[in-house]
A and B are shown apart, each in its own frame.
Chain A
Amino acid sequence: MASVELKDIRKSFGNVEVIRDVNLKISEGEFVVLVGPSGCGKSTLLRCIAGLEPVTSGTLLLDGEDMTDADPISRGVAMVFQSYALYPHMSVAENIGFGLKIAGESKAAIKIRVLEIAKFLKLEMLLNRKPKELSGGQRQRVAIGRALARKPGIFLFDEPLSNLDASLRAEMRVELAKLHSDLGNTMIYVTHDQVEAMTLADRMVILNAGQIEQEGPPLDLFNRPANKFVAGFLGQPPMNFIRVNDVKLNGRILTVELPGGGKLEVRGDWGALNGTNGLEIGIRPEDVSVVAGAGKLPMEIDVVEHLGDQTILYGHLDGRQPMTVRLAGQLDYKAGQKLQLDLSPDRLLVFDLEGRNANLAKT
């Protein structure tokens, strides 16, 4: 078991700074997901934790010990790669037992342990096969088995489900969650898929351009995003951002004018707000409702998507700002229709000029 602490980690490749000033504490047994768009540095960060890449500066502590310069084997980490990286010329049994063989374990001990793991992952029938004879899901389990073999303290996963097709992905997600609850090891998981992140994480870390935007339990990040990036990253379809005018602040109440003239009052703690320019309202498509008669926000529909269990309306507000609405069920809307919308008051977020969540009560 191991805890991980990253202090002021920076990583550059030549002149390109990929990771800047990352500070993170991971406790024993946590399932932490590093998520972010391509190129945000999450895989690099994972490789630094693994010891596959040296950090340019900063300190890495594992269980309180400084492991910044240690090689992977001394860190007690195991890794499951995106393309599994199984040794093609070795059988399943040899793949799983490889780490033990390098560590000098006896053949007998290796055999016992390999069998144990094979049973645990239901791989007994496949022990003599080569990786190319296995399906994607089976290969993934072998990769997990190889990681388990040496009883590591920390498990690292680098986008392990990206190579699987959708149905298999859901199945494997559940298996990974079960694995964590069975073993209880610290697990650090990298993905670009927010669904995986939301469902698997005890704690989620959102990375952007080498920096941590926000970290915490998934629902916290979903409900109380620290900035526009986090708010827009989670949720599908993504959050609407509406530019507003004529902002008036009166103690706890912020009054804004929406496109189309409607007035909106938002309750909150505006202590950190400096200036009323460039404010935006954030509201998720599922928190918008259509009203008959007069509503706060007029919208014209451009495209309607029928998904069977929901209907999504893509359209624009007065002044051509885009707007998306997600409604439950199968509804009969047409392109060109004009609607009046209402916004759920306790789901409203306000973002300032720099994209920060301006409402201290909602962070």
Chain B
Amino acid sequence: MKSRKSILPRRWPRRWKNAASYIIVGGWSGFSLFFVLWVVFASLKSTRKLFSKPWSIPYDPAFGNYVKTWVSSRFGDYFLNSLLVVSLSVLVLLIVSTPAAYVLSRGKFRSRQVISSFLVFGMGVPIPLLFVPLAVIMAKLGLADTLSGLGLVYVAVSIPFTVFVLQGFFSSLPSELESAARIDGCKDWQIFWHVMLPLAKPGILTVAILNFVGLWNEFQLALVLIDSPENRTLSLGMYSLITSMKYSGGDWAGLFAGVTIVMIPTIALFLFLSDRMISGITMGGVK
């Protein structure tokens, strides 16, 4: 990759310019790393030690914090709830969005552009606008305070972005492949199943990860649609921990144990798949 010159004053020697760049960029990046490390360390201290020695490395880790958070603060249950809702939602989302995106990108029918714009427009709807109506609808459907209700909403609000990105992926596949498949005798759905779908796997994977991370971290819709503690997702659990802290004294260490539990899955995904995630966002945003 060829280098582009920096904007720093020309008169500075190259080495100094680079050093300045490294310091600034490295500093900010380092802070991200510091954040993770600090939280993990904090979760392994007792609360008292946390306040007295906030910068120390815990050489005698207090794993009990985790046990407490997982069991008595119910984080174990919340974790499973989140896992269930998010995984199923992403699955349903993919099953529902992929064929739609395919048809919208490669089909030839008059209302194609209209429907496509109609779906994509949904990305611009502010979620808070839907708080009240969704609560009402869920109550009417008997799905108030259920994880299935939440899951349905999760799928629906994720459809615009997912269809948008997948449409881009399908459009990038060469149409000669379609012609070849038709000559080979494929019917329309066979072209999708045997040729187009396998080739869209990278796009599907990207969109799956992005949605998983987004829904795992989702908070506001869960706040509105879920009431009872048994049905809380992990983010709601986190919030309830914060809230309860005000009334039961500051168990900050346990709080940070909770934070660690919440962030480990997404950070893990990110470590392995950061390239994919970042390219997915830029594709979606830049198009």
Identify the A interface with B (CB < 8 A). 47, 50-52, 71-73, 77-79, 81-83, 85-89, 98-99, 102-103, 146, 150
Contact = CB atoms under 8 A, between A and B. Distances in A.
Q: For chain A, what secondary structure do more than half of its interface residues adopt (helix, strand, loop), or is it mixed?
A: loop
B115 interface: no
B179 to A, nearest CB: 5
B190 to A, nearest CB: 6
A71 B182 contact: yes
B176 A99 contact: no
Interface in B183-199: 183-186, 190, 194-195, 198-199
B183 A72 contact: yes
Contact of A99 (B174, B184, B195, B198): B184
A86 B183 CA distance: 12
Given A81-B179, A85-B179, A85-B180, A102 B185 contact: yes
Q: Which of B174, B182, B183, B198 has the most CB of A within 10 A?
A: B183
Contacts of A99: 183-185
Contacts of A87: 177, 180-181, 195
Given A81-B176, A83-B176, A102-B190, A88 B199 contact: yes
16 contacts: A47-B179, A50-B179, A72-B182, A73-B182, A77-B183, A78-B183, A79-B180, A83-B176, A86-B180, A87-B181, A87-B195, A98-B181, A99-B184, A99-B185, A146-B180, A146-B184
Interface string B123-138: 0000000000000000
Given A79-B180, A81-B180, A102-B190, A89 B199 contact: yes
Contact of A83 (B174, B182, B185): B174
Give the top 7 A-B pairs by smallest Cβ distance, nearest first: A99-B184, A73-B185, A85-B176, A85-B180, A102-B185, A89-B198, A72-B183
Contacts of A89: 198-199
Contacts of B180: 79, 81, 85-87, 146
Contact of A52 (B179, B194, B198, B199): B179
Most B-side CB within 10 Å, residue of A77, A85, A88, A99: A85
A85 B177 contact: yes
A68 to B, nearest CB: 17
A102 B186 contact: yes
A99 B182 CA distance: 9
A22 B176 CA distance: 25
Contacts of A82: 176
A1 B148 CA distance: 60
Contacts of A150: 184-185
B203 to A, nearest CB: 13
B178 to A, nearest CB: 9
Contacts of B184: 73, 98-99, 102, 146, 150
Contacts of B186: 102
A62 to B, nearest CB: 14
Contacts of A83: 174, 176
Contacts of B182: 51-52, 71-73
A159 to B, nearest CB: 12
Contacts of A79: 179-180, 183
Contacts of B198: 89
Contacts of B183: 50, 52, 72-73, 77-79, 99
Contacts of A81: 176, 179-180
Contacts of A50: 179, 183
Contacts of B176: 81-83, 85
Interface in B167-226: 174, 176-177, 179-186, 190, 194-195, 198-199
Nearest to B197: A89
Contacts of A86: 180
Contacts of B185: 72-73, 99, 102-103, 150
Given A52-B182, A71-B182, A79-B183, 8 more contacts: A52-B179, A72-B185, A73-B182, A85-B180, A86-B180, A99-B183, A102-B194, A146-B180
Contacts of A51: 182
Chain B CB within 10 Å, residue with most, of A77, A82, A88: A88
B60 to A, nearest CB: 53
A89 B202 CA distance: 12
Nearest to B199: A89
B189 to A, nearest CB: 12
Nearest to B186: A102
A171 to B, nearest CB: 24
A103 B194 CA distance: 13
A150 B180 CA distance: 13
A102 B184 CA distance: 7
Interface centre among B174, B179, B185, B194 (most CB of A within 10 A): B185
B173 to A, nearest CB: 9
Contacts of A47: 179
Contacts of A103: 185
A83 B185 CA distance: 19
Nearest to B190: A102
With most chain B CB atoms within 10 A of its CB, the pick from A50, A81, A83, A150 is: A81
A150 B183 CA distance: 10
A78 B181 CA distance: 11
A89 B174 CA distance: 13
B234 to A, nearest CB: 37
Contacts of B179: 47, 50, 52, 79, 81, 85
Contacts of A78: 183
A102 B190 CA distance: 8
